[in-house]
Amino acid sequence: MKRKIIYICALIVGLMACKKEDRYYKAYLDNAERYYPGALDSLALYPGNGRAQVHMRLSTDPKIKKLRLVVTNDLNALRDTLFYTIAASEIGHDKNVMLDKLKETRYTVSARGFSAEGDSSKAITATTSVEGQRYGTTVLSLNRVFSNFTTSPAGRKQAIFFVETVGSGFTPLQGTRIYFNRSGNARDSVFLGPLDFAVEFPADILPKGSISFVSYYKKTMFSLDNFQTNEKIVNY
């Protein structure tokens, strides 16, 4: 008799334990059919002059129908939420979104993909510093330093500039545009690369006159826009 009572008690305890296990697993069982769209990948922000480009690779999951971007900056607590429709032809490919009218500060973008039912992928974030007037002002006085005029081996007028100090990697100097007048006062220009120091003019440049030039800089190798220096004029 005692043995039967022990068996009955053990059975009751076992059943109670099963109910506790069900309670613990219930949350997972209820969500077993929930769908999570494929994650976005390779999110990057490329800064520009009052703008930024959002770059990412969309998931190959065909159920991704919308893209949501949440944009914040360091100047205030405001946030912009932007939605974009994803075409079937975009699935699995790179997607670029341009953000305009931005202030010169640091921006953070959070991106998620959504299915038609509203299920979302995991959020990914990227940060960059947008450029503007402050950086542009620092560039104004950085124009190339002119050295002298000389004659090339072909007998043409040359303008010689001091060699810029550049490293083996990225250099902010992107080049210099040099303007001059041809015979008949037709305005023309030539471009001097950042690693070059001499430019040869065409044979019909005015025999006496002046050249003017501006140089172009960008802040980082990923920047979208160049900033221009003040114009410099040299007579010959």
Q: Is the pLDDT of residue 8 over 60?
A: no
DSSP helix/strand/coil, 182: strand
pLDDT value for 2: 47
Residue 12 scores a pLDDT above 60: no
Residue 219 in contact with residue 131, Cβ under 8 Å? Answer: yes
Give the pLDDT score at 166: 66
Model pLDDT, residue 169: 80
pLDDT in tens, 21-78: 555 555 545 555 556 778 899 999 999 999 999 999 999 999 999 999 999 999 998 9
Q: In this predicted model, what pLDDT tens digit does every residue of 220-234 receive, in sequence order?
A: 999 999 999 999 999
DSSP per-residue codes, 4-69:
HHHHHHHHHHHHHHHHHHHHHHHHHHHTTT---PPPPEEEEEEE-BS-EEEEEE--S-TT--EEEE
The mean pLDDT value of the chain amounts to: 88
- Where is average pLDDT lowest: 33-37, 140-144, 205-209, 223-227? 33-37
pLDDT of residue 200: 96
Answer with the residue of higher pLDDT: 127 or 37: 127
Considering the chain, what percentage of its residues have pLDDT values greater than 70? Answer: 83
User: Are the C-beta atoms of residues 201 and 208 closer than 8 Å to each other?
Assistant: no
